[in-house]
C-alpha cells in the first residue's frame, strides 16, 4: 500500500475546495468565482482526497518522504511550512 502524499495546494470554505499548484493559484480561482472576502482555510489535498491543514501536511509529507533539503518544502517545490508563505516554487540553489 502506498503512503498518503501531498498532491496540491488547496483553500476551503465549508464544502467548497479550490486546488492549485500553490495557494496563489487557489485564490485566483476564488476571485474568479467572486468569493473573495470570505474567510478560507489554507491547506493541501492528499493522494487520498483529504484536505489537511499546514501542520498535518508537514506530517504527511515527512512520513511519505516528500520533504527536500529545506524543511517545509516538498521535493516538487510546493511550500508546506505553516510559518511562512511564498507563492513561487522553491528551487534548490545551483
Tens digits of residue pLDDT in 42-59: 999 999 999 998 888 888
81 within a domain of the structure (yes/no): no
18 within a domain of the structure (yes/no): yes
Mean pLDDT score of the chain, rounded to an integer? 77
Query: Measured between alpha carbons, how far is 18 from 64 in angstroms, rounded to an integer?
Result: 23
53 within a domain of the structure (yes/no): yes
16-25 per-residue burial string, b: 16 or more CB within 10 A, e: under 16:
ebbbbebbee
17 within a domain of the structure (yes/no): yes
Which range of residues forms the domain containing residue 42? 6-64
Q: Which pLDDT band holds residue 94 (cuts at 50, 70, 90)?
A: very low
88 within a domain of the structure (yes/no): no
76 within a domain of the structure (yes/no): no
Q: What is the structure's pLDDT at 12? A: 95
Q: Is 82 helix (H, G, I), strand (E, B) or coil?
A: coil
Q: What is the structure's pLDDT at 87? A: 33
Structural domains counted in the chain: 1
Tens digits of residue pLDDT in 71-90: 555 655 565 554 334 334 43
Query: For residue 2, what is the DSSP state?
Result: P
Query: Measured between alpha carbons, how far is 44 from 9 in angstroms, rounded to an integer?
Result: 4
Amino acid at each position: 500500500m502506498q503512503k498518503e502524499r501531498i498532491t496540491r495546494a488547496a483553500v476551503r470554505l465549508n464544502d467548497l475546495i479550490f486546488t492549485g499548484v500553490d495557494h496563489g493559484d487557489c485564490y485566483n480561482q476564488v476571485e474568479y468565482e467572486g468569493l473573495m472576502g470570505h474567510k478560507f482555510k489554507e491547506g493541501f489535498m492528499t493522494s487520498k482526497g483529504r484536505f489537511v491543514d499546514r501542520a498535518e501536511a508537514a506530517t504527511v509529507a515527512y512520513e511519505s518522504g516528500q520533504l527536500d533539503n529545506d524543511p517545509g518544502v516538498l521535493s516538487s517545490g510546493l511550500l508546506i511550512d505553516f510559518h511562512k508563505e511564498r507563492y513561487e516554487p522553491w528551487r534548490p540553489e545551483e
